[in-house]
Amino acid sequence: MRATARLFSQVSKAASPRAHTTAFIGLGRMGSEMAYNLFSRTLVESDGNSHFVVCDAVVDAARAFSDNLTAQFPGANIQVVETPAEAAALSSTIVTMLPSSPHVRQVYSESYGIIPALLSLSPDGQRSTLCIDSTTLDVQVAREIAAEVHKSGATMVDAPVSGGVAGAKAATLSFLVGGTEDAFQRTSPILAHMGKKIIHCGPSGAGLGAKICNNLILGVQQIVVAEAMLLGQKLGLDPAVLAGVINSSTGACWASSVNNPVPGALATSPPCTRDYEGGFATSLMLKDMGLATEIADAYSTPLPMGEAAENMYADVVTQVPELAKRDFSSVYRYLQLSAERKQVA
Ligand code: NAD
């Protein structure tokens, strides 16, 4: 069946439960954990009277998610769809968790996207629809898309997250929400299924502004922690002793106390203990540094440390491409390799 025909047949089939249906689009490292918590908790809360729709550019990722949910909750009513338009036609709550701006534009604005589907709904259907985008993307792009969604009669908030994959899994994320007070009140109970702190940062785009400022600090700190840990070892310090000193002194920060880049420095198991697998990809941190420097440029705000950090992450992914998908604390590995090269030269 052609996609449009399938879309309309599903709209009519699902007309009554749309109000009880939640869609999740983007089931990657973060999205799959968040959707699992959202769906499983919504199921329990609604006493089984809820429907779910999942969509991912990699259809097998959506199928695997659906299979896993039904294995855990045999009665769960979950449907895999191939386009965001189908998801929007079937669901009154739509959560998106995508890599960045181009993907969000594609999912919302292009043909087979959410906005064209919203425009084909009844005024009631449009008014009842809530879009929550948790992607970290460009503030201006997010504001433009939210304005388009609002024009259709639906509501949208930006709700990027802090807390990483571990926070997504444990449902302890912090959500930084941008939107009207009404939209925030409507969104909070949904986000509470996936996170612990839900902060209303201001109007549309404010959640992203807060997220980008936070990640600017994080990206810079992770580099300087890697520099200090490498230098300390060259000076003969044991990494566990050095990390203990930093973490109980004025250099203490998340990059050192939770995401320390040196195996054995902490008693816990940060990504460096798994060869930097999992965690927050270096390529995503590079993207976030770019978001910070671009918006700073647009607002004539100097960002010398942010620019230096952006260049450093760009060097990591171009010079050691296998680190692009590894946790961004692998910048330490990059510095180690640079030090080895210096010694040889
Ligand atoms: P990811 O790359 O693992 O997941 C993104 C998913 O979106 C993938 O499954 C991909 O197939 C899907 N996708 C891409 N384009 C699509 C499209 N057009 N239609 C449908 N699906 C599409 O990324 P992630 O690590 O889950 O991160 C998602 C977002 O969360 C990013 O903006 C990132 O900056 C932010 N974030 C990530 C972390 C982290 O620790 N990973 C922490 C905080 C915030």
Residue nearest (by alpha carbon) to ligand 1 atom 8: 28
- 98 CA → ligand 1 middle, Å: 4
pLDDT interval class at 342 (50, 70, 90): confident
- 136 CA → ligand 1 middle, Å: 9
Burial class of residue 179 (count of CB atoms within 10 Å of its CB; 0-12, 13-18, 19+): buried
pLDDT tens string 221-271: 999 999 999 999 999 999 999 999 999 999 999 999 999 999 999 999 999
State how far the Cα of 27 lies from the Cα of 80, in Å rounded to an integer: 12
pLDDT tens string 85-108: 999 999 999 999 999 999 999 999
Helix (H, G, I), strand (E, B) or coil at 237: coil
φ, ψ (nearest 5 deg) of residue 291: -60, -40
pLDDT interval class at 199 (50, 70, 90): very high
Check pLDDT > 90 for residue 55: yes
What average pLDDT does this structure show over 311-327?
98
Check pLDDT > 60 for residue 12: no
CATH superfamily of 5-202: NAD(P)-binding Rossmann-like Domain (3.40.50.720)
State how far the Cα of 180 lies from the Cα of 197, in Å rounded to an integer: 18
State how far the Cα of 343 lies from the Cα of 228, in Å rounded to an integer: 18
262 DSSP 8-state letter? S
Residues lining ligand 1, Cβ inside 6 A: 25-31, 55-58, 61, 97-100, 103, 106-107, 135-136, 161, 164-165, 280, 284
Which of 197, 212, 201 lies closest to 137, judged by CA?
212
81 DSSP 8-state letter? -
Q: Which of 94, 284, 291 to mutate to test the pocket of ligand 1 (most atoms within 8 A of CB)?
A: 284
- Sequence-distant (6+) residues with CB within 8 A of 261 are 222, 225, 226, 229, 255, 270, 272, 329, 330, 331, 332, 333
CATH code for the part of the protein at 210-344: 1.10.1040.10
Residue nearest (by alpha carbon) to ligand 1 atom 1: 28
Spell out the domain ranges in the chain: 5-202, 210-344
Which of 155, 102, 150, 156 lies closest to 134, judged by CA?
156
Residues known to be catalytic: 211
DSSP-derived pairing of the beta strands 173-178 and 161-162: antiparallel
In this prediction the pTM is 0.90
